[in-house]
Amino acid sequence: MLLTCDGREAWDSAMGSAKRVGFDKMTPLFLCDSPLSYKRENYSLLFILRQAMQPEEKYLFTYKGCYFQREIVSVEYLDSLEDFEIRDSDVFLVTYPKSGTIWTQNILSLIYHEGHRDGTEKVDLLDRAPWLEYNIRNVDYVSRPSPRLFASHLPYYLVPKGLRNRRAKVVYVARNPKDVLVSYYHFSKIAVRLEDVEDFGIFMERFLAGKVIPSLWLDHVEGWYSHKDDFNILFLTYEEMKKDLRSCVLKLCNFLGKRLTEKEVDAVVDQATFNKMKADPRANYEFMPPDLMDHSKGHFLRKGTVGDWKNTMTVAQSERFDSVFKERMEKLPFKFCWDIHEES
């Protein structure tokens, strides 16, 4: 949109009188939880902000309250997941995006596959623990041998109904949402089929409004935790994994019923360190084709630290974030570290 010095001519042209009256009435309500104020002299900026808050339809579509990547998954396939046949030996890793998904995928693969631990089998991580809702390689999941490992960003109400028989296992990993936000922002720049939102402030507002894949962070975490009794589920946090990876690996082994020797546990912990994974093309998703991932702009695994949000978010943005999330986060059972030096 072309703006004049005060934006009014372009705004008038774009809106028209009827829409302008409605915008004047609704914008103060839209900003009620925001530090922004509505002033007539700033209405062109507010109009642009509101438009920017809407994800472009060429990238995403909504399905039962969640956003999904267009062209990678269809409504028909998502419909079919409700009746996807679950085996008692199945293991599902569930996360909100950028919460340590690839890291935990790798850990689970190392726990289950000796050939992964000793390096005798050169198999991509995506083949060891594929995505349930994004079957980009068109694999016949039914023909896969047990035990099957899957990864997913689905909310609790969209996973196969067979998971609720409490036999198959679910591992849920949560991460402090400020680090999730910053990591998600950088990831969107290398993911070809995600909209590259240049302005971090606009991306943050979309994140706070749940207008990103799959939905609002709070809804995803709260949903899974509040329905924990419906599933055979183990909750971990990214921060506790960073603090004591070995203890978390042992906790996973105990939950999964996997008995590893001390030497095997050592191998899992060693190969699951961030530097080892980043140097491994199979673990760093470097096998992803260029029509999905632009590796020239960055790596799937970027920093893998706790507290990196402080290098991106301003004080005002952090306060804005807290004003939206703080009250509901206080009711969550998880202890999130906000800084790498903070005691958990």
First to last CA, the chain: 48
Q: How far is Cα 120 from Cα 247, in angstroms, rounded to an integer?
A: 26
Q: How far is Cα 333 from Cα 344, in angstroms, rounded to an integer?
A: 13
Q: How far is Cα 217 from Cα 167, in angstroms, rounded to an integer?
A: 27
Point out which residues pair with 69 in neighbouring strands: 60
Query: What pLDDT digit, counting tens, does each position of 142-166 carry?
Result: 999 999 999 999 999 999 999 998 8
Both tokens of residue 82? 């409700």
Give the residue numbers annotated as catalytic, written as ranges: 153
Q: What torsion do the CA atoms of 277, 70, 198, 323 make, to the nearest 10 degrees?
A: -90
Owner of token pair 């093309």? 281
Helices (H), 75-199: 75-80, 101-112, 114-117, 125-128, 177-190
Closest CA to 194 of 76, 111, 72: 72
Looking at residue 189, its pLDDT comes to: 77
Q: Are 227 and 219 in contact (CB under 8 A)?
A: no
Query: What pLDDT digit, counting tens, does each position of 150-208 carry?
Result: 999 999 999 999 999 889 999 999 999 999 999 999 887 766 466 667 788 888 999 99
CA 77-163-242 angle, 5° bins: 95
Identify the structural domains of the chain with CATH numbers, from first to last: 60-329 (3.40.50.300)
Point out which residues pair with 293 in neighbouring strands: 191
Q: Is the pLDDT of residue 15 over 60?
A: no
One-letter identity of residue 214? P
Contacts of 205 (CB under 8 A, 6+ apart): 49, 53
Lowest mean pLDDT among 158-172, 194-208, 268-282, 295-309: 295-309
Per the rule left: phi > 0, alpha: psi between -120 and 50, beta: everything else, 94 is beta
Indicate yes or no: pTM above 0.85.
no
Contacts of 29 (CB under 8 A, 6+ apart): none
Q: In the sheet that 149-152 helps form, which strands lie side by side, from edge to edge?
A: 149-152, 91-95, 169-174, 232-237
